[in-house]
Chain A
């Protein structure tokens, strides 16, 4: 079930934030064998590799980590991981989990249950820009709307069949 937290547009100027990304530091992800949670998903991605294409802006590289601290204060969480994802039109990212989160938590001996994940709709709503987390659909959500995930490693997918680039902010943190 979707868990709406609120709208943070009064506290963050998202248009200005994304305009300041260091484009030299962006991570451009395309289809890569073995990059998903299972062979089944890997095989599916292989069939649609022209479409698998998204960008990731990591904290401390492409943008100032102070943003994560400010968002953590807004949401009352200690930041643990954060990044922006960007998807151009005509691109998609099939169902997957963000394995990096579990890997980092495990390497640091931390329990995922102690952490919570949120996402923010950074760009203005555009028909055709879709995020699906497990069975929950996010389409035409307000700019600045914040949603809590059931788990940081929940299966999710993204599609952009719209007319504008779609950007999301992802935040994993520990409740204060």
Chain B
């Protein structure tokens, strides 16, 4: 079930964050990991994508997204303000940008330090809709589809490693702010 936290538009100027991200070169392109990486979940996800017939955008297919991070693509103060808003100390945060016609098929976000994160115990994850949902902007977490959201809407995920997918068959890039950390 969706867990709506609130709207943080009064706390963060999301239009400015979108502008900042849109006018900078992404830190890197997703997916960052390849099927040969020895990380939890990678084999499972890669095999599922292969079986379903997905091809990376870099290889002429439709799978790909931009990854944008604090300081490189947007101001660090955004992270601090959001941390205060949800009362959670950040462990990782990024903006994912899915361009028109691209997909982030069913996956969960494997981290390089997965073993260390497990030792920390409960970790809370959130996402923010950086703009009002526009037609064709799709985000699915487990069996919930997030549509018709307002700019600044904050949702807590059922699990940091929840399976999710994103797509964009709209007319503009789709921006989602992602954040996870430990409760204060």
Interface size on B, residues (CB 8 A): 36
Given contacts A89-B52, A90-B63, A94-B136, contact A159 B167 (CB under 8 A): yes
Binds B, one of A5-13, A48-56, A115-123: A48-56
In the assembled complex, the Cα of A51 lies from the Cα of B63 at a distance in Å of 9
Q: Is the CB of B140 within 8 A of A44?
A: no
Q: Which of A44, A140, A158, A163 contacts B170 (CB 8 A)?
A: A44
Mark out the residues of chain B between 136 and 184 whose CB falls within 8 Å of any chain A CB in the assembled complex: 136, 138, 140, 142-143, 145, 147-148, 163, 165-171
A-B contact pairs, 19 of them (CB 8 A): A40-B171, A44-B136, A50-B60, A50-B62, A50-B101, A52-B101, A89-B52, A90-B63, A92-B103, A92-B136, A94-B136, A95-B136, A95-B169, A130-B138, A130-B140, A159-B103, A159-B169, A161-B140, A163-B52
- Chain B interface residues (CB < 8 Å from chain A): 48, 51-55, 57, 60-63, 99-106, 135-136, 138, 140, 142-143, 145, 147-148, 163, 165-171
Besides the known contacts A48-B99, A89-B52, A127-B143, 8 further A-B residue pairs in the complex with CB atoms under 8 A apart: A47-B171, A95-B171, A127-B163, A128-B140, A128-B167, A130-B140, A132-B136, A140-B143
